[in-house]
Structure 1
Amino acid sequence: MNKPIVAVTADTLLADMKPINQRMADYAPRPLLDSLGKAGLLPIILAYDTYADPEEFVETFDALVLPGGPNPSPRFYGEEPLWCIGPTYEKRDIFEIGLIRACLKMGKPILGICRGLQILNVALGGTLWQDMPTQNPKAFIQHMQKAPGQVATHYVEIEKGSRLHDILGDGLYVNSRHREGIKKLAPSLKETAHARDGVIEAVESRDNELITAVQWHPENMDDAVMAPFFRAFADRIIRMK
């Protein structure tokens, strides 16, 4: 049987910032590609293209993965950018929002990781805290951890009855590298995990099995802990093909 093809949206590395000769390289995180491959999937890197219809891309793959990256632009959820937020990349935002809507229309599964959870929420009508340390007084946990990125630093509690609970149980310690977070949850999503300060750490689609997204980086965590998460995603793709 052919392996399911999963498209991983690319980020862009500014390899040379000289004013005249600016080279740009599209890439996706190697640990994420490795995790998908170990789960029996065939990952391809999908560079943004604002000139084509997203549905043309969606016809070429079986599922979509939205990885981490820069903050989604606040204009996509109706806000002005605060001084304290980091870089944004509107071309990627536009591309991913179009892909999300096309995948849902065509019934193809989506996995969101960190920024991927955030852009899913935005695409479906939710909003974000642009900068939790200054905007959300309840967020007392260090969500932009100072420990190395692969180290699990804070606990998340997983909702019973969710698909995530079936995979990971009642909860676990996760890594955490984000300043933004979900403020208003999109109507078509439901919360499936939260940190002990109430910050939403995982969501899935309310009325079907198409969306799973987490705020942490499972591709950087111990395989023994997170391999079942990626295998469950692969199984879901195969079941829904």
Structure 2
Amino acid sequence: MNQPIIGIAGNQLIHATDVFNGNLVTYTPQGFINGVSEAGGLPFVLPVSDPNNAKEYIGKVDKLLLAGGQDVSPRLYNEQPHPKLEETNYHRDLFEAALIKEAIEQKKPIFTVCRGTQLLNIVMGGSLYQDLSLYENWQVKHGQQPTAPQFSTHSVTVDATSKLSMLVQDGSYVNSYHHQAIKELAPNLVATAWATDGIIEAVEAKDGSAILGVQWHPELTHTVEQKDQALFDYFVNEM
């Protein structure tokens, strides 16, 4: 049995001058490698590259996974940077946007996490709150958590009719680390989970295509939370 090849879009460690002698570093969190491997997939890290190479990259993998990281540049949804916007990497934005478009074109399944879900929403026509302070009903701590990442911190309401509901029970606790969030949902996406303050925590494709995105970080909890490894299992083996 062939292992599904999972293309994991990599990040860049740009401020590592003290450790790597000024060299840029391409990486992905180990939890994505482990989660995909545990599910039986073969992880391949795709380095930030020329967007024109996206067609070739997607053509060589079976599925695409987008991870977390920097803020998404508001240039992608025609806004100027808010004073609370944090670091962005526009080259990464453009490359991953091209990967998403190409994966949709080639009908390759897409699983997105945190920033990846936000970028997916933008590419498909949505927008973001550049900072949660711009969301008038913000009541849940979504940003940097003082609690260790293996401990989930807030609950989510899950749509009982969604694909996600087969994997994550309504009322489950998750760990999220984000200060940006989906504002206007893309026309071809549907929200399938929410925090108690109304922030969107998961999305799926409205037309039933193989697209699933979560706002929390299953790569940090998949070894202690069965539901989070189940997300990797579903992505690798069933999407």
Please tell me the TM-score bracket, short chain as reference.
Answer: over 0.9
- 2:78 aligned partner, one-letter code: G
Tell me what 2:175 maps to: 175
Structure 1 residues 9-48: aligned runs within 5 Å: 9-14=9-14, 16-17=16-17, 22-48=22-48
User: C-alpha distance in 1, partners of 2:33/2:200?
Assistant: 25
Tell me what 1:194 maps to: 194
Deviations 1:61-90 (A, max 9, x none): 000000010011001011001111110000
Any conservation in 2 of the 1:14–1:25 contact (CA below 8 Å)? yes
Tell me what 1:68 maps to: 68
Moved more, 45-54 or 134-143: 45-54
Deviations 1:98-128 (A, max 9, x none): 0101100110000000001000001111000
Structure 2 vs 1, CA of residues 226 and 52 (structure 1 numbering), >3 Å: closer, same or farther? Answer: same
Deviations 1:196-220 (A, max 9, x none): 0000000000102321000000111
Q: CA deviation at 1:223?
A: 4.1
Any conservation in 2 of the 1:189–1:203 contact (CA below 8 Å)? yes
Are 2:134 and 1:143 aligned? Answer: no
Structure 1 residues 75-114: aligned runs within 5 Å: 75-114=75-114
Q: CA deviation at 1:226?
A: 1.6
Any conservation in 2 of the 1:15–1:23 contact (CA below 8 Å)? no
User: C-alpha distance in 1, partners of 2:74/2:237?
Assistant: 34
User: C-alpha distance in 2, partners of 1:16/1:97?
Assistant: 25
Tell me what 2:185 maps to: 185
SS of corresponding position for 1:184: coil
Q: CA deviation at 1:51?
A: 5.8
User: C-alpha distance in 2, partners of 1:180/1:160?
Assistant: 26
Q: CA deviation at 1:150?
A: 2.1
Are 2:118 and 1:118 aligned? Answer: yes
Instruction: Please report the TM-score for the alignment, with normalisation by the length of structure 2.
Output: 0.94
Any conservation in 2 of the 1:71–1:88 contact (CA below 8 Å)? yes
Superposition RMSD on alpha carbons, in Å? 1.3
User: C-alpha distance in 2, partners of 1:231/1:195?
Assistant: 24
Moved more, 219-228 or 91-100: 219-228
Deviations 1:175-204 (A, max 9, x none): 010000000000010000000000000000
- 2:87 aligned partner, one-letter code: P
Work out the number of aligned pairs and report it.
234
Are 2:220 and 1:220 aligned? Answer: yes
SS of corresponding position for 1:171: coil
- 1:227 aligned partner, one-letter code: Q
SS of corresponding position for 1:168: coil
**Gaps spanning 5+ residues in structure 2: where?**
none
**Gaps spanning 5+ residues in structure 1: where?**
none
Any conservation in 2 of the 1:74–1:130 contact (CA below 8 Å)? yes
Structure 2 vs 1, CA of residues 143 and 99 (structure 1 numbering), >3 Å: closer, same or farther? Answer: same
Tell me what 1:236 maps to: 238
Instruction: Please report the TM-score for the alignment, with normalisation by the length of structure 1.
Output: 0.93
Any conservation in 2 of the 1:15–1:25 contact (CA below 8 Å)? no
